[in-house]
Each structure stands twice: as structure tokens, then as C-alpha cells.
């Protein structure tokens, strides 16, 4: 895709939606303290075992490296790349500060990942100026205060703004004028539309559809017949740039989970249960940090051949207690029939979330309060003060077992 030219001269009338996307975010954060690596191919990820690429500079992407690629393949494609281990807590802190910058311009901020968000700046125009000018100020402040760059798309709705930010990368600003949406969209490949994966792309190719313009020319009834009622209608709307979803600030999490991919397949139930405990502790701490409790607990178990099994159970009372999450996760693992079967990934997730405030647990007749929640809250306080590994369950106070990624 060609590098966009200056955007401030474009007509941004009727374009209140911004999509801000950080450029190679994790790698950009690392380069703040490693300026000697600027201009070189840099990959962030675990280099051992089954590590995957978490982020790659644009110099590395020129060799075909991209996020989620197995590190072994990335190293073959770009053997000269510098590989840096991830610093997740550092990325989370920079993400928090970047989101605070967005919120200083408008309260209408919808984060959709740690490194991207939608902003509705309609209410900020009188105070700050045109949308493109606000976008330019955001980019300048992020670069000045955080030392990382971002690309911004400006458009009349979320769908077009996200495509515009992709068009602006890296480190750019691109406006799609409200009256030029069709001109912008129709030359794009049909895979640019949300919801067009490899299977849908193949189905559309059989109809002779290669571009968004091709799709727009097909009667909607034909698309519904070929792709299904919902998918056909959805793609027909997007092909003409129609997207009426509002920017929704502070969208609550629908679920909170964590998972781990092993460096080598694990078939020892004791080791699997230890990892379920580690993940349950992590998920419960995130629930308490978010002020949430959940009613449904699920486990995800992926075999060596990549087949994945998920099992879940709903509780009578919602919880944010790791002990309860872990006990249910272990029961689900036992009932899965995969004990002693080699696994490459396990995950724990809590769903059906609600606010913790007021969600008191009802004790049965003669039942005593266990104190687990209070103990885990004390662990949270120690963790915040002394670090993540300050207090751990006894079974986790040992080096990670062989085959585990740190």
C-alpha cells in the first residue's frame, strides 16, 4: 500500500472518528532504551522453544516477519534480526499512559487493545479544532511524552477510520473525507473488510469478487444466499462504508482469562495442575483488580496435534477467588479425559462477569467462611508493594518446570 501524503489539507468535515494505532508497539517501547537498534530489524518475543513473535519493527517486517509468527520461522526469514525478550509490565504501563493522553483530548475513548483505540472527537472540536488537527496533536504528544509513534486514521465511522490508520502506517496521519469513502474503499482487496477471512475470501473469489468494488456491485440477495443472511448483509453494508456503531467508552470485559503455551508438550497431570494453579491465580488477581466477579469458569486444553477442547461450569455464586477457580479448573481437566495426554497449551477463563460490589456469597446452613478471599486480597497488596512474585502458593515457589516458557 503506498505511503500516504500529507493529511491535514484533506477535508475532514463530518469525520469525527479517529482510530489511533501504535506502530510496532512492543518493539517501539524497547527501542526507547535501546536507541542504537533504531533502523535495524528487531523482534520482540521468546526465542526458545515454541516462542512466537509479539512485535517486529518495520525493518524486520520487510523480510516477512509478523506478529504471531513462530520464532523459528522468523529467525529463518531474518537471521540478522536482534531478538529482545518481552517486558510485559513495561508495555502495560506505557499503554496506560497512552490511553490517558487520549482521554485528555476526549472522554469518548474506546480501547480495543493495549496499543489501539477509537476516539470520538465531535465534542472536542470547539475546544481543540478540526479532527485532523486533534489527531496531529495526539500524535505529537504521544511521541514527546512516551517516545513511541502512532498512526491515526480520521473518518466518518469506525470501520473506515481503522482502514485509514492502516493506510497511514508507519507514523502517519490519513483522512478519508466523508464524500470520498467509496473512492477510498472500492479499489481495496476484499480481504480488507472486517469478517473476510481465508474461507470467505475463497467463497468470494469463486464469484469473481476480488475487490471491495466488485463486492459492492453484487446484489445483496446474492451475497446472503452465498454467505448467509448475517454475513451477506454485513459485508454489503461495509462495501459502501456504512458502519453505525458508536464509540463506546469503558467497555467492560466480557471475560478474563490467561493461557500458556508450553515449550515442549506436557503429559504429566501434576505439572498441568500446577500450571492451572498459576493461571487461576493470575485470572483471579485480574478479576479483583477490575472489581469484577464471574459465574462461569472454563478451561482450554490443546493437544499436540492442535485439536482444542474447552469445558466450562457455572457456579451458584460468582467469584474472584483463585482457590475456587482452580478447584473447578482441575475438576474440568479431570473430566476432560485428557489426563496423561500430551498438551501444548492450557488456559483458564472466567466469564459472565459482573461487579464485585454487592456480590456477596450466601453461606449454606452450618457453613463457615473460609477466608480465602481475604487472604488473596492480602496477597494483592503485597504484590502491589513488592512485586508480582512476592507472595505465591507454596507449590509455585520453585523454578519453572522443564519445558515451560518463563
CA distance 134 to 127: 10
- For the record, the C-alpha cell of 266 comes out as 506436557
In which residue are the cell numbers 486533534 written?
134
- For the record, the C-alpha cell of 127 comes out as 475546544
CA distance 328 to 314: 9
CA distance 104 to 128: 11
User: Are the CB atoms for 293 and 319 separated by under 8 Å?
Assistant: yes
Specify the 3-state DSSP secondary structure of 44. strand
How is the chain split among helix, strand and coil, in percent rounded to 5?
40, 20, 35
Helix (H) / strand (E) element for 61: namely: helix 58-61
In which residue are the cell numbers 502506517 written?
169
User: Any catalytic annotation for residue 116?
Assistant: yes
Residue 259: closest CA among 293, 313, 323, 308: 308
Specify the 3-state DSSP secondary structure of 307. coil
Distances (CA, A) of 364 to 9, 368, 388: 68, 8, 34
- For the record, the C-alpha cell of 3 comes out as 505511503
DSSP letter at 401 equals P
Residue 20: closest CA among 105, 108, 107, 102: 102
Residue 97: closest CA among 150, 53, 51, 135: 150
CA distance 61 to 55: 10
User: Residue 393: left if φ>0, alpha if ψ -120 to 50, beta else—which one?
Assistant: beta
**Residue 245 CB neighbours (<10 A):** 11
Selecting among 30, 59, 116, 275, the annotated active-site residue is 116
Annotated binding site: 21, 115
Q: Is the peptide bond before 170 cis (omega within 30 degrees of 0)?
A: yes
In which residue are the cell numbers 469525520 written?
15
Annotated binding site for Mg(2+): 21, 115
Please list the active-site residues: 116
Amino acid at each position: 500500500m503506498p505511503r500516504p501524503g500529507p493529511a491535514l489539507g484533506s477535508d475532514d468535515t463530518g469525520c469525527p472518528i479517529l482510530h489511533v494505532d501504535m506502530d510496532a508497539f512492543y518493539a517501539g517501547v524497547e527501542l526507547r532504551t535501546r536507541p542504537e537498534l533504531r533502523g535495524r530489524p528487531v523482534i520482540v518475543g521468546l526465542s526458545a522453544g515454541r516462542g512466537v513473535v509479539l512485535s517486529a519493527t518495520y525493518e524486520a517486517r520487510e523480510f516477512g516477519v509478523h506478529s504471531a509468527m513462530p520464532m523459528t520461522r522468523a529467525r529463518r526469514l531474518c537471521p540478522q534480526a536482534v531478538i529482545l525478550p518481552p517486558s510485559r509490565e513495561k508495555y502495560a504501563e506505557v499503554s496506560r499512559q497512552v490511553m490517558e493522553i487520549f482521554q485528555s483530548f476526549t472522554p469518548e475513548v474506546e480501547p480495543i487493545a493495549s496499543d489501539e483505540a477509537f476516539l470520538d472527537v465531535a465534542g472536542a472540536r470547539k475546544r481543540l479544532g478540526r479532527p485532523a488537527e486533534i489527531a496531529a496533536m495526539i500524535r505529537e504528544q504521544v511521541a514527546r511524552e512516551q517516545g513511541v509513534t502512532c498512526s491515526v486514521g480520521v473518518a466518518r465511522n469506525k470501520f473506515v477510520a481503522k482502514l485509514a490508520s492502516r493506510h497511514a502506517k508507519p507514523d502517519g496521519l490519513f483522512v478519508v473525507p466523508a464524500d470520498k469513502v467509496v473512492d477510498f474503499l472500492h479499489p481495496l482487496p476484499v480481504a480488507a473488510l472486517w469478517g473476510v477471512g481465508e474461507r470467505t475470501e475463497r467463497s468470494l473469489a469463486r464469484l469473481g469478487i476480488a475487490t471491495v468494488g466488485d463486492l459492492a456491485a453484487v446484489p445483496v440477495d446474492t451475497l446472503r444466499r452465498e454467505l448467509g443472511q448475517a454475513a451477506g448483509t454485513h459485508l454489503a453494508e461495509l462495501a459502501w462504508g456504512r458502519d453505525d456503531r458508536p464509540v463506546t467508552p469503558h467497555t467492560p470485559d466480557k471475560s478474563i482469562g490467561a493461557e500458556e503455551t508450553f515449550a515442549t508438550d506436557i503429559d504429566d497431570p501434576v505439572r498441568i495442575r500446577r500450571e492451572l494453579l498459576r493461571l487461576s491465580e493470575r485470572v483471579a488477581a485480574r478479576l479483583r483488580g477490575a472489581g469484577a466477579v464471574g459465574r462461569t469458569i472454563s478451561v482450554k486444553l490443546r493437544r499436540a496435534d492442535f485439536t482444542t477442547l474447552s469445558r466450562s461450569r457455572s457456579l451458584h455464586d460468582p467469584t474472584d477467588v483463585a482457590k475456587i477457580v482452580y478447584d473447578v479448573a482441575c475438576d474440568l481437566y479431570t473430566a476432560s479425559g485428557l489426563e496423561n495426554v500430551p498438551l501444548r497449551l492450557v488456559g483458564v477463563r472466567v466469564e459472565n462477569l459482573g461487579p464485585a460490589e454487592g456480590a456477596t456469597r450466601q453461606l449454606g446452613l452450618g457453613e463457615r467462611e473460609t477466608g480465602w478471599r481475604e487472604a488473596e486480597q492480602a496477597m494483592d497488596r503485597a504484590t502491589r508493594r513488592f512485586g508480582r512474585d512476592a507472595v505465591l502458593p507454596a507449590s509455585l515457589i520453585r523454578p519453572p518446570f522443564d519445558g515451560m516458557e518463563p
